[in-house]
Structure 1
Amino acid sequence: MVDVNVKEILLECEAFLQGHFLLSSGKHSNGYVQCAKLLQWPDRAEKVLSVVKDQVKDLGIETVIGPAMGGIVVSYELGRQLGVKSIFTERENDVMTLRRGFTVKENEKVLITEDVVTTGKSSLETIEALKEYGVEVVGIACIANRSGKDNLNGYKIYPAISLDIDTYESDNCPLCKENIELVKPGSRKKF
């Protein structure tokens, strides 16, 4: 196992941001991890996600599934490193679903992948979409875990890095009270 300084790589890529951010959950935060800034560099993404691969390589994973948008490239790179199939879910009529002819089989061992886990909404929606197929979800992998938890509804989280970033309810945000400009950097339109 190679020693990888994930935070240093995120800083080098300008993927770790500080300020006042509107998260896809509707909450506010003083920090944000813009993983797209990391994922634009395949060699750096490979290094960071090798940290996750080392944690999950013995779980018998058959398919890696990332919710669109943030989980797609993460799923692809982890699938490549693990030598398994990589697919993604996406919203159709505001419901996460498998589309594009993607399939999974009953009892197939799948790993959900995300760029950042905060509330885990996209991961949990993906897990819900997969219930009808009878797959075995072995966990949730991500570049950055900022949830403050090591599992989400009983599913273990496998992060490249865990970060302690302050998160506030929108109606009780000290950054709003200081009139610091609010920025929405994420991809999800609704929260």
Structure 2
Amino acid sequence: MTEEEILAHYRETDALLEGHFLLSSGLHSDRYLQSAKVLMYPDRAAALCQALADKIKSALGENAVDIVVGPAMGGVIVGYELARQLGVPGIFTERENGVFTFRRGFSLKPGARVIMSEDIVTTGKSSRECIDTIRAAGGDVVCATCLIDRSNGEADVGVPLISLMELEVNVYEPDKLPPELAGTEAIKPGSRNLK
């Protein structure tokens, strides 16, 4: 799948937004990718995750993973569909008192080879938190994956990161906004509450 084909899925579902956005990291941006709007279509989710699964198999080989874990919310659908494409179970972590944990009876076998997967990586904060939770539960994180790496390859999640595509999106510190954003109110489209 080409980068243009990937972005077409986002454009055709109005999931590529333009304006002034407050990201869950506290940074501001002039573009936002709302993957939930793409993933609400099972055929699109399957196509995107199949392309990502192909990249993972190419990088790691066949049968290199035992389970896929995604952080709620952004990693639930991607993790499930990626697990389906790879033929392994898929589970997710949830925040409890602000910290990722396994609930609903989910657990990992000691030494399980795990792919941590989510929809978008910007700073890598959620990915690192999820990876810490996986390791604390006895999992061996072989890599992290995402549909789109908004950091353009700059995010350090502590393990190799395989993305379907990298996309450079401008992000700004709150006190360093460009004039076109400084005079507008920021919209917070993400799922995580800011402190």
TM-score (structure 1 length as normaliser)? 0.93
Pair 1:18-2:22 in alignment: no
Cα deviation code 1:29-51 (max 9, x no counterpart): 01110001101111011111112
C-alpha deviation, 1:128, in angstroms: 1.0
Cα deviation code 1:100-158 (max 9, x no counterpart): 11010121110011111001111111111122233210111111111122662441111
8 Å CA contact 2:135, 2:141 repeated in 1: no
Which residue of structure 2 aligns with residue 133 of structure 1? 137
Which residue of structure 2 aligns with residue 170 of structure 1? 174
8 Å CA contact 2:147, 2:163 repeated in 1: yes
Percentage identity across paired residues of the two chains: 44
8 Å CA contact 1:150, 1:157 repeated in 2: no
C-alpha deviation, 1:94, in angstroms: 1.1
8 Å CA contact 2:117, 2:146 repeated in 1: yes
Aligned pair partner of 2:106 in 102, 105, 109: 102
Aligned residues between the structures: 189
Which residue of structure 2 aligns with residue 158 of structure 1? 162
Task: Provide the rounded CA distance (Å) in 2 between the counterparts of 1:188 and 1:150.
Answer: 22
Which residue of structure 2 aligns with residue 70 of structure 1? 74
Cα deviation code 1:26-73 (max 9, x no counterpart): 100011100011011110111111121011122611110010111000
Deviates more, 1:12-21 or 1:131-140: 131-140
Counterpart of 2:23, as a letter, is L
Structure 1 segments, 4+ long, off by >3 Å, are none
- Aligned-pair RMSD on alpha carbons? 1.6
Pair 1:147-2:151 in alignment: yes
Secondary structure of 1:170's aligned partner: coil
8 Å CA contact 2:114, 2:142 repeated in 1: yes
Counterpart of 2:80, as a letter, is Y
8 Å CA contact 2:46, 2:81 repeated in 1: yes
TM-score (structure 2 length as normaliser)? 0.91
C-alpha deviation, 1:3, in angstroms: 5.7
**What are the ranges of 5 or more consecutive residues in structure 2 without an aligned counterpart?**
none
Deviates more, 1:149-158 or 1:30-39: 149-158
Task: Provide the rounded CA distance (Å) in 2 between the counterparts of 1:63 and 1:122.
Answer: 19
Deviates more, 1:50-59 or 1:164-173: 50-59
Counterpart of 1:63, as a letter, is I
